[in-house]
Amino acid sequence: MATETVTAPRSSLLSRMAESRGFLSFGFMLPAAALLLVFLTYPLGLGVWLGFTDTRVGRPGIFIGLENYEYLWDDSIFWLSVFNTLLYTVTASILKFMLGLWLALLLNENLPFKSFFRAVVLLPWVVPTVLSAIAFWWIYDSQFSIISWALIELGIIDHRINFLGDPTNARASVIAANVWRGIPFVAITLLAGLQTIPQSLYEAATLDGAGKWQLFRYVTLPLLTPIIAITMTFSVLFTFTDFQLIYVLTRGGPVNATHLMATLSFQRGISGGQLGEGAAIAVAMIPFLLAAILFSYFGLQRRKWQQGGGD
């Protein structure tokens, strides 16, 4: 991140600009800073404040302290949504990681039409989530699901699967759709990481008698750890705050079995008009997000030896 190269000659040259540099920087930073401060930082603070008020749509609220949070603390649906969110995030992230890493390893082989495969694999990630989720909605249709039909034709099951009507099935279905959409991101970023590992390391390890598994375990994995950490942090953050897939497929049903914190926040805050309570649910997501970021930052950050330095 830090580039402290060629500071000495540059600063002497730039010294002439020094008196205007502060002003220039201010001017250059202004558009981005204004946009972010007004539409990101301020709403973030406003959201926290709203969580302490009883604001509704069309009616400014008053400060009510922790009442929203006390209410949520005793609300079983809220806790169910927390449980669902954690289940959804953990299961989907593990599956995305394993399948994505596998796909990345496959794509890293010496294949014909390699760039074609790579382009095709990324498609689910490029297409708008809502639109591909609508396709999944049709695939998961209770009566005309193509999966049910195919499995019945193959003689594996004897009646249609109720994909989105049964709590367990619905959870599995939304997780499957999320994994489908998330695999390409994980695979392509990990592939980029794999391509930076020098072939000579594998050759040297092979000469030392390492088998396939050992090559993976002692060469690939350690060198890939930093990029895995960042990729999975992003993946976990996006999965945890997912909204679109659930909103399209189940809207939180059946009986709240697939409600995530984001969808519950939307349902209470926008559809139900209880902006304060919705904001409180959204704020309740922040500690989880911070925990994920800090975990990846401190637990999985780059080690010196991975960049060629000493231990």
Partner 1 sequence: MTVTEVRKHAVGDEGGMGYLQSVPRRVVTIYLPLLIFVIVLLFPFYWMAITAVKPNEQMTNFNDYSPFWVVSPTLEHIKYLLFQTSYPGWLLNTVIISTAATFLSLLASVFAAYAIERLRFSGSRQVGLGIFLAYLVPPSILFIPLSLMVFNLGLYDTSFALILTYPTFLVPFCTWLLMGYFRSIPFELEECALIDGASRWQILTKIILPLSVPGLISAGIFAFTLSWNEFIYALTFIQSSENKTVPVGVLTELVRSDVYEWGALMAGALIGSLPVVILYSFFVEHYVSSMTGAVKE
Identify residues 190-209 at the interface with partner 1 (CB under 8 A).
Answer: 192, 199, 202-203, 206
| Residue of 135, 204, 221, 291 interacting with partner 1 (CB under 8 A) | 135
Give the residue with the Cβ less far from partner 1, 72 or 283.
283
For residues 290 and 38, what is the distance between their CA atoms, to the nearest angstrom? 22
- Number of H-type helices and E-type strands within the chain: 16, 0
The single residue listed with the structure tokens 């499995």 is 151
For residues 308 and 1, what is the distance between their CA atoms, to the nearest angstrom? 16
Is 157 a binding residue for partner 1 by CB under 8 A? The answer is no
Is 255 a binding residue for partner 1 by CB under 8 A? The answer is no
Residues within window 224-243 making contact with partner 1, judged by CB under 8 A: 227, 230-231, 234, 237-238, 240-243
| Residue of 64, 67, 69, 124 interacting with partner 1 (CB under 8 A) | 124
Contact 67, 153 (CB under 8 A): no
Total site size for partner 1, rule CB under 8 A: 108
Contact 183, 124 (CB under 8 A): yes
Is 308 a binding residue for partner 1 by CB under 8 A? The answer is no
| Among the residue ranges 62-70, 90-98, 160-168, 284-292, the one whose residues contact partner 1 (CB under 8 A) | 284-292
Contact 221, 205 (CB under 8 A): no
Picking from 101, 39, 259, the residue whose alpha carbon sits closest to that of residue 267 is 259
Is 39 a binding residue for partner 1 by CB under 8 A? The answer is yes
| Residue of 8, 19, 31, 63 interacting with partner 1 (CB under 8 A) | 31
Is 82 a binding residue for partner 1 by CB under 8 A? The answer is no
Picking from 130, 97, 96, the residue whose alpha carbon sits closest to that of residue 246 is 130
